Structure 1
Amino acid sequence: MAGPSTSQSHPLDSLWQAPTLIWVVLAGLGLATVLALAPGAAADRVVYFGLAAMVIQWIALLTLATLYLLRNALAGTRPVRVAYVALALLVLNTWMVSAITWWLMRGVWPLTQESWESLFLRLTGIVLVVGLLGLGAFQNHWRARQLAVRAKQAELEALQARIRPHFLFNTLNTGVALVHQRPEEAERLLVDLADLFRAALAGPRDIRLSDELALAHRYLEIESLRFGDRLKIEWRVPDPVPEATVPALSIQPLVENAIRHGIERVAGGGTVEMDVVDEGDEIVVTITNPLPNPAGAAGHGGHSVGLRSSRARIEAFTSGRGRLTAGVENDRYITTIRIPRKPTP
């Protein structure tokens, strides 16, 4: 049921984004400017700047391209080791590009042998110093990020812990009432309850969308025994369920909210709707429930605990590509989740 965790984005992911590429180019131009203005540079500093800028850009872009080609091989590697690999590639590319540039252009650019050697040594020294400083900064940044993720996970688990006792006590009371009158339904209720709490106690992990929807469906079956005719369920989910991965217990708490803050507070009950639509690159999950007081719908905030928990899980899992929105439309509370078909590596 559970798959390998992919909830955290890989540190290489940001290297393929346009802002990173732009900053790499600008940083290369800045470094070339510093080299051209430094004491001991060639007399024609404009020529020196042009040559240094060309070499630096080739080194940087070639290193990014190499990391991109190695992204699958490095996907399961620890981030700190990836940083060491990146530093090694940067040094190797510095030597390779410098050697090729010298071999191709030694008779074209008006630089002496000593100037070429000086440029080569300066680039190597700068790459090593900046790379080691960057490696140290990256290690500190990654540790801080891991601590932040763990703190956020602890917060999410605390939020969920506030929801579970309410549901557990109600379910046990329902089971007690059914034991003598409808023992088969009581047995089904306890089996569904065991499945839900097995998922809850398993801890944070990623599961298939179909499995998460199955947990939500079991929850609704339990609540339908408690509410009887007051709860109607419209379940519009394609068969088979589209292939996607979600954090465990990211959708079920939203269904629980629909019961607690909708059906439970409406005297005549109502309908909870679950819709799943495959839009190609995204899977859209929509949960709809009635409002207890449509006139005061604008101030309806009872869903906030479950919403915060699920929104944080989904955004962390998809690195911001997935999203959760909620609002009131036609006197009904609508929660919409957009999940990328393929999570961020």
Structure 2
Amino acid sequence: MRKPARQAQTALNGREPSLLPELCSIEALFMLVVAAELLAVLLSVASQGLAALSWAHLGLVSALVLWITLASAAIICSARPLLERIPPLAAWLVVYVVILLCAGVFSALGQWLLKGIGRGFFDGWQVATHVLLTAIIAGMLLRYLYLLQRLRAQQQAELRARIQALQSRIEPHFLFNSMNSIASLIAVDPDLAERLVEDLADLFRAALSKTSKVSAERELALTRAYLRIEQLRLGERLRLSWDVATPPDDAELPHLLLQPLVENAIYHGIENSRTGGELAVKLRIEGGELALSVYNSIAESTQESRRAGNKLGLDNVRHRLQAFYGADAQLIIDARPESFCVNIRIVDVRQRPVLPREKKKA
């Protein structure tokens, strides 16, 4: 279930997808073994017929196909960093030649083990037949994998563009509200406003960053900086409850996921109320699973503005969660006359391992 989310994360971290087949994972090797066995059965039935099928012949064909498949996969996987440095067409040609060489080598080796080449039993035509069959099958398979990788690269490019568009809709509104908050404090307490400019600088750097995912601790720090500004602007009208456990080091969240939620809670549920209201943030991450809730009370005078103003921001957050995690994330809204609560649950927010050939951007 999580495979699409992992592919989305790779795309959103700014790494261009490779058009070469990925054969280094356990899942890929398992599929190769299954495909090799099915191919061995097909070749055996085609050459002997189902009625005369010999288990010994099937075993020999199966062994040959498996050796060719696994050896080719091992060589391609080991040489992948080098192949990615040359033009894609040349890389695919090298992959094709490697598979044909493995077919020729293991076909000849099989004859040597079974009959002995030094005793005149070597059959060059049989080796050529095996290489030709491998060329046909490998050509069709590589063509399919190439088209599949091209389609995946196109989908990832579209996903990157979609996420950037959604995030760009959040940043201007977020920065505009932060600047207004500080501007309202300049006449009342210039020294305090000056100190808050440092928090705003951090918010600017975060909002203008092109990073799609950040550590959970960084996302929480950004939200705390924003809430410090709002707490000093609204004073006792903002009654803040912050119940957040220290997140694991490997936990990551989409950039600007939490801050828009608390911003909505303040501007649509608390700011317009003369008596203010309560804002409660709860976050737990256990075993990689995240449970987040943002609750705010609503006064009667602000209920209509809440209904009119929350939908766009929440839809934006929902779409981003879907793009990053697919079905592994849920956003549930609990809207009542006196309160509004957003609940988010993500199956796994742990940082994905990075391959040695990939480097994270600072």
**TM-score, normalised with respect to structure 1:** 0.71
Q: 1:283 to 1:34 in 2, by over 3 A?
A: closer
Question: Displacement, 1:311?
Answer: 0.6
CA distances 1:72-108 after superposition (whole Å, capped 9, x unpaired): x85995795886676565445434543443333338x
Q: 1:84 to 1:306 in 2, by over 3 A?
A: farther
Alignment correspondent of 1:143: 150
- Matched residues in 1 for 2:332 and 2:72: separation? 43
- Matched residues in 2 for 1:162 and 1:213: separation? 20
Kept after mapping to 1: 8 A contact 2:270/2:299: no
Alignment correspondent of 1:16: 26
Q: 1:156 to 1:240 in 2, by over 3 A?
A: closer
RMSD (Å) for aligned C-alpha atoms: 4.6
Q: Give 3-state SS (helix, strand or coil) of 2:170's partner.
A: helix
Pairs within 5 Å for 1:18-97: 23-38=31-46, 45-46=53-54, 47-64=56-73, 70=78, 74=81, 77=84, 87=96, 90-97=99-106
Alignment correspondent of 1:253: 260
- Matched residues in 1 for 2:82 and 2:224: separation? 34
Q: 1:239 to 1:165 in 2, by over 3 A?
A: closer
Kept after mapping to 2: 8 A contact 1:207/1:245: yes
Q: 1:137 to 1:289 in 2, by over 3 A?
A: same
Bigger relative contact order (CA 8 A; separation at least 6): 1
Q: Give 3-state SS (helix, strand or coil) of 1:203's partner.
A: coil
Q: Give 3-state SS (helix, strand or coil) of 1:181's partner.
A: coil
Question: Displacement, 1:147?
Answer: 3.0
Letter in 1 for 2:36: G
- Matched residues in 2 for 1:85 and 1:250: separation? 44
CA distances 1:157-211 after superposition (whole Å, capped 9, x unpaired): 3223333343333333332221111113322333323322222222234433322
Alignment partner of 1:105 out of 87, 104, 114 = 114
Question: Displacement, 1:216?
Answer: 1.9
**TM-score, normalised with respect to structure 2:** 0.68
Q: 1:324 to 1:151 in 2, by over 3 A?
A: same
Is 1:212 matched with 2:219? yes
How many residues end up aligned between the 2 structures? 326
CA distances 1:239-296 after superposition (whole Å, capped 9, x unpaired): 585333444334433443444555457775444344444424x152513213649999
Letter in 2 for 1:104: L
- Matched residues in 2 for 1:82 and 1:270: separation? 62
Q: 1:64 to 1:250 in 2, by over 3 A?
A: farther
Is 1:227 matched with 2:237? no
Alignment correspondent of 2:134: 127
Q: 1:7 to 1:272 in 2, by over 3 A?
A: farther
Alignment correspondent of 1:287: 293
Letter in 1 for 2:153: Q
Q: 1:177 to 1:23 in 2, by over 3 A?
A: closer
- Matched residues in 1 for 2:331 and 2:24: separation? 25
Q: Give 3-state SS (helix, strand or coil) of 2:183's partner.
A: helix
Question: Displacement, 1:303?
Answer: 5.0
Is 1:176 matched with 2:176? no
Alignment correspondent of 2:334: 328
Letter in 1 for 2:292: T
Kept after mapping to 2: 8 A contact 1:242/1:283: no
Q: Give 3-state SS (helix, strand or coil) of 2:249's partner.
A: coil
Q: 1:38 to 1:15 in 2, by over 3 A?
A: same
Alignment correspondent of 2:320: 310
The percent identity for this pair of structures is 29
The farther-off stretch of 146-155 and 97-106 is 97-106
Kept after mapping to 1: 8 A contact 2:12/2:160: no
Kept after mapping to 1: 8 A contact 2:237/2:275: yes
Question: Displacement, 1:220?
Answer: 2.0
